[in-house]
Structure 1
């Protein structure tokens, strides 16, 4: 159903739950994988856990996505290994903190914007020359791109910015046959979200997970595999006439 046999997929944030879940699904459809994360040791551990004996076939690359030279090298190594890039999943991300504007640390705001927005920009800049007709770029956004919650200055701003970047890329690359979309998850049952909810719970004086579940019409968090299934759809030709779209995978939270 999903025609990814022999396609090369480059995924950042590859050691995290969403990146790894997407990698497993793409690999199951025959894709070659290049996984990128900040630390090679994290990638090695994640790949061994996810792929077992087949982990040797997964290209693992340590890269700070905010560093242009490192991004350029990661793309070059992927192309050297597999010849081209067919799917780019820009998934690296950090949350930052929650604080009133007068107390929000400027350096935290800058770092969150750099990872999400500069990182996605640099990946597209250097990967697109190695992509062609039928290529797909998926940016990991968030339901946060539809919201404005008190104190979440860096993360929400970065996710709104990613929507703008996605739209510009989609218009620019459509004549070249490259589609660009975003996946916008709601709260996911993983370590990243738990850290967010623990911090939020301390701020609001109640359980952060329950607080989010009350805002989700489906009454629960999503799973990494549920989000990965939407990434798989956007990566494949099953979404061949879809570009410039933010696919909400949020249990109805944005409705």
Structure 2
């Protein structure tokens, strides 16, 4: 049985590792999918890799209201409804202590990671079908502090507040809103963080992160996608306002 049959999903950060892994799983489970991202060439490559008639894309900057309205409108125009919003777009920003952190980069991280989620909820939830699901990508950095990642950590804490308020406000229409909190995942973002921490020996930084995970390894995108699928499906129909940690035991340690 296809768990998302006849469902329509939007995935922001759609061309990234978690976005693409989730898109593939959603399509396999019967959904129609709109990928949202800032770079057309990357989105086109993603569409080609997925090779499925039930996926389309929209070039948009999630930190802008006009672009947010545009990807929502395109989804409605093509697929006729919105059942699932996976607010997954995010950037890591530089690795730097607060005292040295560039103000313009702080603003950029907050705009995409935090305001982008707020705009998605503000304009997306009113357009969603009753009984729909919003899944927001936070991080273990939304639950604890990480030196050198001040803007990223701030943004990932902030989306929990958006989630909890949106969950309360959307309950009257049975729309669920939850956050997921991955630890390190084998994606481009972690490669960039490793290199930023240790430019001459990124592998050393990777081993340091792995040492902080009781399972001793990074997650794979497919493992994150499995959790997102559960929260997108009707199996989670009575779950809202919750934080879902998927980190190999990192927060517990």
Q: Is the pair's TM-score, using the shorter chain for normalization, greater than 0.5?
A: yes
Match of 1:106 among 99, 103, 108: 103
Tell me what 1:175 maps to.
172
Match of 1:194 among 188, 191, 196: 191
Distance 1:7 1:168 in 2: 25
Say whether the 8 Å CA contact 1:121–1:165 is kept in structure 2.
yes
Tell me what 1:44 maps to.
44
Tell me what 1:152 maps to.
149
CA gap 1:42/1:206 in 2 versus in 1, 3 angstroms: closer
| Runs ≥4 residues deviating over 6 A | 203-206
Tell me what 2:25 maps to.
25
Say whether the 8 Å CA contact 1:2–1:238 is kept in structure 2.
no
Q: TM-score, normalised by structure 1?
A: 0.95
**Partner SS state of residue 249, structure 2:** coil
Q: Are 1:253 and 2:247 counterparts?
A: no
Q: In the TM superposition, what is the alpha-carbon distance from 1:57 to its structure 2 partner?
A: 3.2
Q: In the TM superposition, what is the alpha-carbon distance from 1:83 to its structure 2 partner?
A: 1.2
Say whether the 8 Å CA contact 1:2–1:237 is kept in structure 2.
no
Alignment of 1:1-255 (within 5 A): 3-49=3-49, 51-52=50-51, 54=52, 56-202=53-199, 207-255=204-252
Alignment size in residue pairs:
252
Distance 1:24 1:205 in 2: 29
Q: In the TM superposition, what is the alpha-carbon distance from 1:203 to its structure 2 partner?
A: 9.6
**Gaps (5+ residues) in structure 2?**
none
**Partner SS state of residue 33, structure 1:** strand
**Partner SS state of residue 198, structure 2:** helix
Backbone CA RMSD of aligned residues = 1.6
**Partner SS state of residue 207, structure 1:** helix
Distance 1:191 1:149 in 2: 19
